[in-house]
Amino acid sequence: MRCPYCRQDTDKVVDSRSSGEGATIRRRRECLACGRRFTTYEKIETLPLRVVKKDGRRVEFDRNKILAGLIRAGALIRDDRRPPARPLPRGEA
């Protein structure tokens, strides 16, 4: 990390704390060249989830596709549990 005052890249971390519900890390640093202190914030970089298709393509994960598939699968299961439709026996007249 470069010192914003003297532009040297020699520093040490004096204090480190989580901030913003753990989404960022606040670090107090001290420049070893000029002795001044400064604060930096580090944010966790999130990468989008990717799905590898059978043909090798990579597409972004779509939660709605998963939900639609589960709903379709649930509809099939419900249909399988119904008793099979039987024709009513005809009485002899």
Do residues 37 and 14 touch, judged by C-beta distance below 8 A? Answer: yes
Q: Which residue ranges in the chain fall short of pLDDT 50?
A: none
- For the question of whether the overall pTM of this predicted structure is more than 0.75, the answer is no
pLDDT of residue 7: 94
Q: What are the domain boundaries of the chain?
A: 11-43, 50-81
The two beta strands, 50-52 and 37-43, are unpaired
Q: Token pair for residue 64?
A: 């709605």
pLDDT of residue 81: 58
